[in-house]
Amino acid sequence: MTSLTPPAEWALHAAVWTAWPRDVEAWLTEEHLHGARREVAGMIRALAARGPDGRAGDRVRVLVHGAEARASAAAALGDAAELVEAAYGDIWLRDIGPIFHDARRATTFQFNGWGGKYIYEGDETVGASVVQIAGVERRRSPWVIEGGALDWDGEGTVLTTRECLLNPNRNPGMTEEKAEKILDEALGLKRVIWLGEGLLNDHTDGHVDNIARFVAPGVVVCQRAADGDDPNTERLEAIAHDLAEARDARGRMLQVIRIPSPGRVTDADGEIVPASHMNFLIGNSTVVVPVYGTPSAASAVDILKPLFPGRAVIGLPARHILSGGGGFHCITQQQPA
């Protein structure tokens, strides 16, 4: 049998899966629902476009549920995506969907609403639906693990946080040793690089795709504080320190590249929200970076550009998606070619 280790995100995709925002209750207001639809549509059109070197964009497969969602998605997306009917609660495919090993196999983990915080009908079953639609073999894991809690390099190394993976609201009694064994057996991930905490007020309990990402073998990106008012300053410094001390599955010290954080971003009630430029998606032709109208956006995108030769690297608005709890990476899942 071939390796279970999933390819890195920058490897060629057969498809990128996402879902269309449909439930105003999940988005709190009509403004956020319609704003999220605009932002998701912008992401999809960017992913589908050809790259600057002429390479083909992604085949984007968009889950829709119900007549209104299908009609609004068709009007917004045209021929940029393929619409697929399936039941789902909300659009966070990174967490509720499967993790694809290759073109033939995928694993579904258990999902409990990020530790019981948000329970929507359909979220527990949509992973199986995606596997069936994709026509791949399904492997089932009994453990609660979300895709956004993991970021891997395709060579057996994975980044994660203790705050999330060891949280008793997922798998009571989980230890580092047990988690490492599960990740090896389920996904062929041999080397776990443990980070501590994620961003302040992240309801996912510290998903790693908001704080640290592989961009090449042995190369990771994380954030630095935007300014003296950045609420995550201490956490961002701890993340960078831990990464600089880590070795990957091949024994390499990691090269750590830092981009600015968006800084202090708040919601309508003045509460700090976990805005992050790290929640980018690496498509076949385009890297889509979430931006929030902060001074950090241009610098973050400019630092990322040379890391992805042959791909366009663009910042797109994601403030409304953030109101639901995440970014572009959170709402997608890649299927390897």
CB proximity list for 195: less than 8 A, separation 6 or greater: 159, 160, 161, 162, 208, 211, 212, 238, 239, 242, 243
Considering Cα of 204, then 266, then 25, then 127, what sign does the dihedral take? negative
- Within 10 angstroms of residue 170's Cβ, the number of other Cβ atoms is 23
Q: What is the edge-to-edge ordering of all strands in the sheet holding 212-216?
A: 212-216, 219-224, 255-260
DSSP label at 90?
A: S
Angle at 206 between CA 59 and CA 101, to 5 degrees: 35
CA nearest 176: which of 167, 103, 325, 39?
167
The CA distance from 119 to 113, in Å, is 5
Which residues are part of the catalytic machinery? 330
| Pairing outcome for strands 105-110 and 99-100 | antiparallel
Residue 93 tokens read as 């495919």
